[in-house]
């Protein structure tokens, strides 16, 4: 489906959800209107998927919820759903608990190994997609469509890590789809500014989901929100990516000096973008930040590189991205992508540890059985 079709899907999902909440409110059950039972959550998703002839199991949590219900009824499914909504500590606890629950409810219908594989694949795919908040850049880091506001044209950017090829988009159907996606993202930007005049939170920044509605004071975020914000901010000395970010800041400022300019907001955006770039490409440190030189397929300054090691050393490591994207991506957006990547890495490590534990348990059982035979 196109991005607009997925947007319509989300609108339908919210409409069905609202109808359930209104039903409970009219029935004198405000507590259920505020926190829908998990059975209603599943019904809402099922209706939305079935309206588009999509298998409801495409919503990955549904399979785990059904497995929990087979083992302990609705009460067990409610426990799993509550865990899925736990966004404390950037969701790292949720990632670990999900793997534990999958192993706990493993049966012939769930197939734990297959479920974890699909879940990991979905997270990896999501992490490799550019944020849908940027109307002028659509796609993935290694293949994207860039909109030129001066010429009102689209170009493809294809990168293999060593070089980037830029070509104009000429296919009429592709251009219509890109223009429609860009228009949709601009529409969403406008909608984000529309609030009901009686909304006491209308002047507060939009918070990341999931969030609870039971906030005592909108001016004083809950401790969990503060902890999450700190955990996703590599400018803080206690953040594990702080050193990497500082190296990107130093490299960006050195580049500014070479160009005879003073560090500004664009510099901060570039440093944040490069921190995310370096982390995703496995760089442990950034020793140099460089711009591309003019070549057959690239313009001078068109790309920005992060380099680990001596650039003259064949063993050096580096990663690249379009300079325009680096300076245009907001700092908060880059930090959010970095936090999501770190979550994915933590989940993968948890899964690896779980697999190793399974192997050890199987080996212990095998040795125990052998000892009994003796």
Same domain, 34 and 97: yes
Question: Which residues neighbour 195 within 8 Å (Cβ) at sequence distance 6 or greater?
Answer: 201, 202
Report the C-alpha gap between 199 and 218 in whole angstroms: 11
The pLDDT of residue 88: 59
What are the 10-residue block averages of pLDDT along the chain, 374 residues in total? 92 96 96 94 95 90 90 90 71 68 82 73 69 88 87 86 78 94 92 80 60 37 45 83 95 94 93 95 94 87 94 92 93 89 75 69 61 48
- Residue 209 is inside which H or E element, if any? none
Select from 127, 143, 158 the last residue of a domain: 127
Angle at the Cα of 221 from the Cα atoms of 219 and 226, rounded to 5 degrees: 140
Same domain, 313 and 289: yes
pTM here? 0.54
In a domain, 371, yes or no: no
DSSP symbols for 114-148? HHHHHHHHHHHHHHTSPPTT-TTEEEETTEEEEEE
Same domain, 245 and 284: yes
* Number of compact structural domains in the chain: 3
Question: Which residues neighbour 253 within 8 Å (Cβ) at sequence distance 6 or greater?
Answer: 263, 267
The pLDDT of residue 125: 66
Select from 329, 349, 367 the last residue of a domain: 329
* Region for 161 from its dihedrals, namely left if φ exceeds 0, alpha if ψ lies in -120 to 50, beta otherwise: left
Residue of 132, 143, 142 whose CA lies nearest to 181: 132
Report the C-alpha gap between 251 and 348 in whole angstroms: 31
Select from 127, 151, 166 the last residue of a domain: 127
The pLDDT of residue 32: 94
CB 60 within 8 A of CB 122: yes
In a domain, 252, yes or no: yes
The pLDDT of residue 296: 80
State the pairing for strand pair 288-291/303-308. Answer: antiparallel
Enclosing domain of residue 285: 239-329
């Amino acid at each position: 489906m196109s991005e607009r079709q997925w947007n319509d899907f989300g609108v339908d999902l919210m409409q069905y959800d609202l109808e359930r909440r209104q039903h409970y409110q009219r029935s004198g059950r405000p507590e259920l209107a505020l926190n829908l039972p998990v059975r209603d959550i599943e019904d809402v998703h099922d209706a939305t998927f079935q309206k588009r002839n999509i298998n409801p199991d495409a919503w990955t949590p549904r399979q785990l919820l059904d497995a929990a219900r087979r083992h302990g009824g609705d009460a067990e499914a409610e426990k799993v759903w509550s865990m899925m909504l736990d966004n404390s500590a950037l969701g790292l606890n949720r990632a670990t608990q999900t793997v534990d629950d999958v192993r706990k409810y493993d049966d012939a219908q769930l197939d734990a190994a297959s479920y974890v594989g699909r879940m990991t694949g979905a997270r990896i795919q999501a992490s490799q997609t550019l944020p849908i908040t940027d109307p002028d850049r659509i796609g993935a880091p290694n293949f994207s469509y860039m909109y030129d506001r001066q010429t009102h044209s689209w170009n493809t950017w294809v990168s293999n890590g060593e070089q980037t090829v830029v070509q104009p988009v000429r296919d009429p159907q592709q251009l219509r789809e890109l223009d429609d996606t860009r228009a949709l993202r601009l529409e969403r930007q406008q909608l984000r500014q529309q609030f009901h005049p009686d909304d006491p939170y209308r002047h507060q920044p939009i918070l990341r989901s999931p969030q609870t509605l039971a906030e005592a004071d909108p001016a004083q975020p809950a401790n969990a929100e503060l902890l999450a914000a700190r955990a996703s901010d590599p400018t803080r000395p206690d953040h594990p990516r702080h050193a990497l970010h500082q190296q990107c800041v130093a490299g960006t400022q050195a580049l500014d000096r070479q160009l005879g300019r003073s560090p500004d907001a664009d510099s901060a955006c570039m440093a944040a973008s490069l921190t995310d770039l370096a982390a995703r490409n496995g760089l442990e440190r950034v020793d140099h930040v460089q711009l591309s030189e003019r070549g057959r397929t690239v313009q001078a300054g068109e790309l920005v590189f992060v380099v680990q090691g001596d650039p003259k050393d064949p063993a050096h490591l580096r990663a690249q991205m379009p300079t325009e994207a680096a300076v245009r991506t907001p700092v908060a957006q880059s930090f959010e992508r970095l936090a999501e990547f770190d979550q994915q890495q933590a989940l993968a490590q948890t899964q690896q540890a779980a697999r190793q534990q399974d192997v050890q348990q199987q080996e212990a059982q095998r040795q125990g059985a052998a000892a009994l035979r003796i």
